[in-house]
Each structure stands twice: as structure tokens, then as C-alpha cells.
Structure 1
Amino acid sequence: MKKNISLFLLAFIFIVNANAQKGVHLIAKGGLNYSKIADNDFNASYHAGASLEIDFSKVVGLQPEILFSQLNNKGTNGNKDDKLNYLSIPLLLRINVSKMFTINVGPEYSILMNKNEKFLGNIQNAFKEGNFSMIGGVQLNLQSFRAYARYDVGLSNLNNTITPKEWKSQNLQVGVGIKIF
């Protein structure tokens, strides 16, 4: 049994190393969010996580990610102060325009992990638990360093109250990443 496990681990390490040389890279990343919900103002927060860059050819690839992302929501009338913490899972198409420049587009699903709501007398559960959105952005690739900017447009109504108004998110992300392998 130990021999089988050792062989499996050895094969796994060999496959990961082979793929790393063929265009699969693990990236640690983090940066700033400028987000808003509905008609409110944009507010700064942050995101951090990891992504895989999987290039199928010199031009096309996939970039799945997993991010912790915080959205701060402060209304113009001052009666809201919400911090929403999401586990975000984008699945982006990579279009490599050149070795240094990549366009990213694709869907993202975010799961609300916890929230600090101060909303109209502390109404509980004012925000729905999931958010589906679309992302478009650009990435600069300099050897092991990445810099990116992208815009995330929410397609889901986040409003979980009895009011009929739709609350959709918008998020501008700028950040940097470092290639691990």
C-alpha cells in the first residue's frame, strides 16, 4: 500500500512539473477592489487568492481562480455601511495577444461568506447568498510578475428584502500577482 501511495505521489509530482513546463502556472495574487452595489458610490476594499494559468496554445487558455474578495457598500444617504466577504470563483478565458499581454473574459460565481450589515435598522439577511457576474480585463505578464485590471459586472439581484428595487454589483479590480511555478 505504501508503495502504491509513493508511486502515486511520484507520478503526481512528475505530472505537475511537466505541466508547469508546458504552460500551467500557479499565481498568488492580490489587490484593490473599487466596488458598488445599485446606485451607491464606489468604495475601496481588497481581494487576495490564487489562479492557474493554463495555456492550450500560444493564443488561448483558461484561468480558473479562487479569491477572497470584500465589497464595501456605503450609500449616498449615509444609512448603509455593509462589508460583504465573498469567496469568488472566476473561470476566465485567456486570450494571449502577445507574450506580455493577455485579455481575460468570463463568468464568476461568488458565495457570500459573511457580512457586517448596518442596513435600515439592522435588517438581517438583506443580501442574497450568491452572485453571478461577468468579467472583462487585461493582464500584463512580465516573467514571474503579473499586473492586472478588470471590470466585474453583477448579473444577479443581491436584494433579499421585500423592496422591489434590484441591487446589482459592479467591481473594478486592480492587482498584482507572482508566479509560484
Structure 2
Amino acid sequence: MKRIFLVAATFFLFTAGAFAQGGFRLGVKAGTNLTKITGQSFNDGFDLSYHVGAFAEIDFNKKWGIQPEVLWSQTTTKRTNFDNLYPTIVNSATSKDEKIKLDYMAIPILLRYNVGKMLTLNAGPQFGILINQDKNFLQNGQSAFKNGDFSMVAGAQLNFNFLRIYGRYNIGLKNLNDVGNQDKWTNQQIQMGIGLRF
């Protein structure tokens, strides 16, 4: 995952420098996440969390461009059938109602298509680096989740001068389960938020 982070950061800086003379803009953004971990181990419903970070808008022409971002993004869930699937490693002193929180550094690299001045469509890959995770629901503070994530992102954005209003869906493609092969876990998010372009 360090290699992925370095590649993404290098790509971000190289592209920003290459287009600094043209359609290049920076901004900050924040919003809500509706998140869940798919699989039998965790709650099937979406839980509320948040994301915050920075983005760049790099236009190749009036229609096409890219939008790299660096976000701090949180996923929350509750375990359901986890105790039955992994009875030997679960910490029986914890409650199923306790939220499990995962903090990621998310790096989406999105293709931009400007439908018009006010509407932009986005799609592309997202790399995730797990920064923090709750370890109290497993015995001996074990880690349940893998350190890296990979997902695909698609969404839309409304543009009002310096203001951005956006919504997107992230679907995880990588199995996050780091404790066994009885269940496959993937990350899913619905994101909504606002951005300010400088």
C-alpha cells in the first residue's frame, strides 16, 4: 500500500504541475458517509460517518478532465453473525451494539466529464489505506481488517462558481477480511457533501 500511495501522490503532483498553466483548480471538501461492510459478519444496513479532504480539478478541455483527491474517510458498522463465524477470536466482553470504526486515507483518481457548466460526472478508482481500526472486539487486540482497500467510484457534482455539491457511490472490490476465509467483507459507501474551490 505504500507503493500505491507513492504512485498516487506522484501522479497527483506531476499532473498538477503539467496543467498548472491551464485549467487547474484546488479545493477542500467535507461531507457525510453512509457506510457498510458487506458479508454475513456485520450489520446489513448503512451507518452514518464522515469524510474530509482536498481535491484538484484538472481540465484537459471544456468537456474532459481528471479530479484526484486525498480524503480522510471513516467507515462504521456493527457486528451481527461475526461471533458465530469466529467464536474463538471474538472478545466476548464486548457488545454487538458497539460500533466498529475504520479510518482510511482514501485516494480517488476520477475522470471528469462536464455535461454543462453546472453538472459534472465523475468515475474512477479509489485506493484506501487503513490508518486506524477498532481492535477491542477481537481477543488480544488483533487486527480484523486488511491494511488496504480498492474500490470503484461513480457520482455527479453540481457546480456553482466556487461551490461544489456532490454525491457518489463507492463499491469495494477487495476482500477486507484478515481473520479467516469463512466470510468475504467489502466496503460500500454513499457519499454526499460540499466542496469549496479556490
TM-score (norm 2): 0.77
- Kindly indicate whether the alpha-carbon contact (under 8 Å) linking 1:30 and 1:175 is maintained by their aligned counterparts in 2: yes
Give the equivalent residue in structure 2 for 1:74. Answer: 78
With 82-91 and 113-122 compared, the bigger mean Cα shift is at 113-122
With 68-77 and 44-53 compared, the bigger mean Cα shift is at 68-77
Give the equivalent residue in structure 2 for 1:12. Answer: none
| CA RMSD, 1 decimal | 2.0
Say which of 144, 168, 179 aligns to 1:150: 168
> Structure 1 49/159 Cα, relative in aligned 2: closer, same or farther at 3 Å?
same
CA distance in 2, matches of 1:70, 1:56: 32
Q: Matched residue of 1:153: which SS?
A: strand
Q: Matched residue of 2:20: which SS?
A: helix
Give the equivalent residue in structure 2 for 1:141. Answer: 159
Give the equivalent residue in structure 2 for 1:19. Answer: 20
* Superposition map of 1:96-115 within 5 A: 96-115=114-133
1:91 is displaced (CA, Å) by: 0.2
Give unpaired runs (5+ residues) of structure 1: 1-14
- Kindly indicate whether the alpha-carbon contact (under 8 Å) linking 2:138 and 2:144 is maintained by their aligned counterparts in 1: no
Q: Does 1:48 align with 2:52?
A: yes
- Kindly indicate whether the alpha-carbon contact (under 8 Å) linking 2:168 and 2:191 is maintained by their aligned counterparts in 1: yes
Identify, as 1 or 2, the structure richer in strand. Answer: 1
Give the equivalent residue in structure 2 for 1:9. Answer: none
CA distance in 2, matches of 1:108, 1:31: 17
Give unpaired runs (5+ residues) of structure 2: 1-15, 82-94
- Kindly indicate whether the alpha-carbon contact (under 8 Å) linking 1:152 and 1:171 is maintained by their aligned counterparts in 2: yes
CA distance in 2, matches of 1:122, 1:152: 32
1:81 is displaced (CA, Å) by: 2.5
1:122 is displaced (CA, Å) by: 6.2
- Kindly indicate whether the alpha-carbon contact (under 8 Å) linking 2:36 and 2:189 is maintained by their aligned counterparts in 1: yes
Say which of 61, 66, 83 aligns to 2:65: 61
CA distance in 2, matches of 1:165, 1:128: 14
1:124 is displaced (CA, Å) by: 1.1
1:75 is displaced (CA, Å) by: 3.0
Q: Matched residue of 1:125: which SS?
A: coil
- Kindly indicate whether the alpha-carbon contact (under 8 Å) linking 1:83 and 1:117 is maintained by their aligned counterparts in 2: no
Give the equivalent residue in structure 1 for 2:92. Answer: none
Identity between Structure 1 and Structure 2 (%): 47
- Kindly indicate whether the alpha-carbon contact (under 8 Å) linking 1:31 and 1:173 is maintained by their aligned counterparts in 2: yes
Say which of 166, 169, 176 aligns to 2:187: 169
Measured against aligned partners, the alpha-carbon deviations of 1:46-99 in whole angstroms (never above 9, x if no partner) come to 000000000101110000000000111113466263110100000000010001
- Kindly indicate whether the alpha-carbon contact (under 8 Å) linking 1:82 and 1:118 is maintained by their aligned counterparts in 2: no
1:103 is displaced (CA, Å) by: 0.3
